[in-house]
């Protein structure tokens, strides 16, 4: 079943306690697509400027990633982001942003994407996400992410978006901010009141929690002490999650725990090196192997 | 196999966002014993004063709890603790402490306890814990807890204790404080360098992590939005853990994940009401039922 992702493709500068890099490949679409492609084909919608390096494009080209929706816009420049992490490797602090092409008109959606059944709307202005959601008329599962920026400044627009999507994937801080609830189960249930069938709260090193109308599933992260750069962990989680669902071909709520496990394990690779370096070296076989370890760790009977 | 716990028995005042209570039953030994007794017999070593209410004693008497080591000391007063929790229900802030009988000589250990095979040393001065550890000469598994107070003020004594015990159970904040490591896997491994065979790091609402020389197991907490009072959660976790191991009759490292699951589930009951109220209503059947739910939640294959 066809999976499509919309969002940012960027060039990043990142500093963590384990080093720093400049001018590296980044953006939510990139992390999502590299992750999802381990489990399914994935279609990309995004725009870059003329300055986008060809070797960055090559990283995406060598996989099951459909780049017909990747627009290289003449006269524009690629989105740039710079951020740093403190020693606890928690939320990134953004030190610099140049929206560049992201501040212009959104890229066109290829007609060949019209039959997409699984849609992931990475974080951007919720009105733009809602517009995108409406354009995938054949979609069966539309999942959105968001950022605290939009919850602070565009809460009403986000509420309208929630009414248009099947689900939301967001981090614990954002779930609490939106619902004014520190308890994440209550926060998740509050989100469901706005329309989604399920919410997944990402808790970074503490794993993720699924909230549906009648079920809560909490899963830990895959234990690793090899973290170098948490950038893209959330988008890699979403990519593994939706790649698994798309690979199955149809969606049932019962598939979500296993899908979350895939997301968790893919994210555990993503954070092992800067930018997409670790993710580029993952094969479906390595993913399967670590997934087996994760499933075995949680087998208690 | 015989299980024994040493530590505090107290009278607590507790305030949380969900209410407040005064003069209620508390103390690490109490939470541990009520929890462990769901899975095994448990022997208690502790001292209270003449002011210890008889109905508090009754709570302990009605179960598989051996109270021959519970000394009611003439002329002394029971340990008192008062604390409050903020809205995130994280670490308690201690607002008042009267050590009372805990500042006097430790209680005698009944000769009938001499064959105890499983020993839990709840948090107190590490020199006292070490002394207790040495007195259980038949012990096969000695597990200690601690507090940030002792890590700040008696670090060398704690290091000596680590060389005498089989394992340590402590919270994430304490593990980081002792090892100067925010990464909990590295913190756990550092602790093992001092002698223990395993360390379990408790992460509150985020679950717990086992660290052995060649294995990491991260488990989530049992998801519940019914938390009223987190007091005793850590001791209930330890009680469920060691009650399970003692109930099995012999110790193997491979039993630890299931033992942690028991601890996690017992703790999820303990926090549902103030003091020991929720814990008093748990039966082995209710524990088994929730344990089944927990195991099913984590079954991913």
Cβ atoms of A117 and A2 within 8 Å: the answer is: yes
Q: Does A212 have pLDDT greater than 90? A: yes
Q: Does B1 have pLDDT greater than 80? A: no
Q: What pLDDT digit, counting tens, does each position of B193-237 carry? A: 999 999 999 999 999 999 999 999 999 999 999 999 999 999 999
Q: What is the pLDDT of residue A117?
A: 97
Using the Cβ of B224 and the Cβ atoms of chain A, whether some distance falls under 8 Å is answered with yes
Q: Does A134 have pLDDT greater than 80? A: yes
Q: What is the pLDDT of residue A95?
A: 95
Residue A251 token pair: 């969606």
Q: Does A113 have pLDDT greater than 90? A: yes
DSSP state of B223: P
Q: Does A198 have pLDDT greater than 80? A: yes
Shortest CA gap A227–chain B (Å): 9
User: Using CA atoms, how far apart are residues B175 and B184, in angstroms rounded to an integer?
Assistant: 7
Q: What is the pLDDT of residue A2?
A: 95
* Reported confidence tier of residue B133, pLDDT bands at 50, 70, 90: very high
Q: Which residues of B touch A217 (CB under 8 A)?
A: 223, 297
Mean pLDDT confidence for A170-197:
97
Closest chain B residue by Cα to residue A292 = B301
Q: What is the pLDDT of residue A248?
A: 94
Residues of chain B above pLDDT 90, percent: 96
* Reported confidence tier of residue B301, pLDDT bands at 50, 70, 90: confident
Residue with tokens 């008192």: B80
Using the Cβ of A271 and the Cβ atoms of chain B, whether some distance falls under 8 Å is answered with no
Residues shown for chain A? 301
A283: alpha, beta or left? (left if phi > 0; alpha if psi -120 to 50): beta
Residue A257: which of B87, B224, B300 has the nearest Cβ? Answer: B300
User: Using CA atoms, how far apart are residues B170 and B179, in angstroms rounded to an integer?
Assistant: 12
DSSP state of B129: H
Phi, psi of A192 (to 5 degrees): -65, -25
Mean pLDDT confidence for B49-57:
97
Q: What is the pLDDT of residue B17?
A: 94
User: Using CA atoms, how far apart are residues A249 and B159, in angstroms rounded to an integer?
Assistant: 55
Mean pLDDT confidence for A8-20:
97
Q: Which residues of A touch B258 (CB under 8 A)?
A: 300
Q: Which residues of A touch B225 (CB under 8 A)?
A: 183, 185-186, 189
> How many CB atoms are closer than 10 A to CB A73?
17
Q: What is the pLDDT of residue B286?
A: 98
Cβ atoms of A168 and A146 within 8 Å: the answer is: yes
Inter-chain contact B227–A186, Cβ cutoff 8 Å? no
Q: What is the pLDDT of residue B215?
A: 96
- When scoring B224, B298, B299, B301 by the number of chain A Cβ atoms within 10 A, the one with the most, hence best to mutate, is B298
Distance of CA A163 to the CA centre of its chain: 20
Mean pLDDT confidence for B52-80:
97
* Reported confidence tier of residue A301, pLDDT bands at 50, 70, 90: confident
Q: What is the pLDDT of residue B189?
A: 98
Using the Cβ of B23 and the Cβ atoms of chain A, whether some distance falls under 8 Å is answered with no
Q: What is the pLDDT of residue A290?
A: 98
Residue A174 token pair: 């954002």
Residue B200 token pair: 């379990």
Q: Does A1 have pLDDT greater than 80? A: no
Closest chain A residue by Cα to residue B260 = A300
Q: What is the ipTM of this complex?
A: 0.94
Shortest CA gap B38–chain A (Å): 19
Mean pLDDT confidence for B267-282:
97
Q: What is the pLDDT of residue B62?
A: 85
Residue A295: which of B186, B203, B300 has the nearest Cβ? Answer: B300
Q: What pLDDT digit, counting tens, does each position of B160-172 carry? A: 999 999 999 999 9
Shortest CA gap B189–chain A (Å): 11
Residue B97 token pair: 């402490």
Using the Cβ of A90 and the Cβ atoms of chain B, whether some distance falls under 8 Å is answered with no
Shortest CA gap A4–chain B (Å): 26
Mean pLDDT confidence for A84-113:
94
Q: Does A294 have pLDDT greater than 90? A: yes
Q: What pLDDT digit, counting tens, does each position of B78-116 carry? A: 999 999 999 888 889 999 999 999 999 999 999 999 999
Q: Does A193 have pLDDT greater than 80? A: yes
Using the Cβ of B254 and the Cβ atoms of chain A, whether some distance falls under 8 Å is answered with no
Using the Cβ of A103 and the Cβ atoms of chain B, whether some distance falls under 8 Å is answered with no
> How many CB atoms are closer than 10 A to CB A215?
14
CA distances from A48 to A41, A57, A207, B57, B296 (A): 21, 10, 32, 72, 45
Q: What is the pLDDT of residue A88?
A: 83
Inter-chain contact B218–A207, Cβ cutoff 8 Å? yes
Q: What is the pLDDT of residue B250?
A: 86
- How many residue pairs bridge chain A and chain B with CB atoms within 8 Å of each other? 80
Mark which residues 152-211 of A lie under 8 Å from B by CB. 182-183, 185-186, 189, 203, 206-207, 209
Q: What is the pLDDT of residue A91?
A: 86
Closest chain A residue by Cα to residue B261 = A300
Q: Does A274 have pLDDT greater than 90? A: yes
> Mean pLDDT in chain A?
97
Residue A182: which of B87, B203, B221 has the nearest Cβ? Answer: B87
DSSP state of A200: E
> How many CB atoms are closer than 10 A to CB B138?
11
Shortest CA gap A217–chain B (Å): 6
Mean pLDDT confidence for B238-263:
96
* Residue among A16, A44, A45 at smallest CA distance from A275: A16
Residue with tokens 């969900």: B18
User: Using CA atoms, how far apart are residues B125 and B127, in angstroms rounded to an integer?
Assistant: 6
Closest chain B residue by Cα to residue A260 = B300
Inter-chain contact B299–A299, Cβ cutoff 8 Å? yes
* Max Cα–Cα distance, chain B, nearest Å: 60
Inter-chain contact A217–B223, Cβ cutoff 8 Å? yes
Q: Which residues of A touch B210 (CB under 8 A)?
A: none
Inter-chain contact B217–A301, Cβ cutoff 8 Å? no
């Amino acid at each position: 079943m066809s999976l499509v992702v919309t969002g940012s493709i960027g060039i990043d500068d990142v500093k963590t306690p384990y080093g720093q890099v400049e001018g590296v490949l980044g953006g939510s679409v990139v992390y999502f697509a590299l992750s999802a492609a381990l489990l399914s084909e994935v279609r990309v919608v995004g725009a870059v400027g003329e300055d986008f390096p060809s070797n960055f494009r090559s990283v995406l080209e060598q996989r099951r990633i459909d780049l017909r929706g990747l627009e290289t816009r003449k006269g524009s420049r690629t989105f740039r982001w710079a951020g740093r992490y403190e020693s606890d490797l928690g939320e990134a602090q953004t030190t610099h942003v140049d929206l560049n092409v992201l501040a212009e008109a959104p890229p066109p959606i290829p007609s060949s994407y019209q039959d997409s059944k699984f849609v992931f709307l990475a974080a951007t202005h919720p009105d733009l996400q809602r517009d995108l959601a409406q354009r995938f008329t054949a979609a069966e599962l539309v999942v959105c992410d968001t950022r605290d920026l939009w919850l602070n400044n565009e809460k009403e627009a986000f509420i309208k978006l929630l009414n248009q999507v099947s689900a939301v994937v967001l981090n614990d801080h954002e779930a609490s901010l939106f619902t004014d609830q520190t308890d994440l189960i209550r926060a998740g249930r509050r989100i469901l009141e706005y329309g989604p069938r399920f919410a997944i709260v990402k808790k970074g090193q503490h794993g993720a929690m699924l909230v549906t109308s009648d079920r809560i599933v909490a899963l830990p992260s895959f234990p690793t002490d090899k973290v170098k750069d948490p950038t893209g962990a959330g988008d890699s989680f979403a990519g593994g999650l939706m790649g698994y669902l798309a690979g199955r071909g149809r969606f049932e709520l019962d598939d979500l725990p296993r899908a979350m496990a895939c997301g968790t394990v893919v994210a555990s690779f993503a954070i092992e090196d800067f930018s997409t370096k670790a993710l580029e070296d993952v094969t479906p076989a390595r993913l399967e192997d670590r997934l087996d370890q994760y499933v075995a760790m949680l087998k208690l009977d």
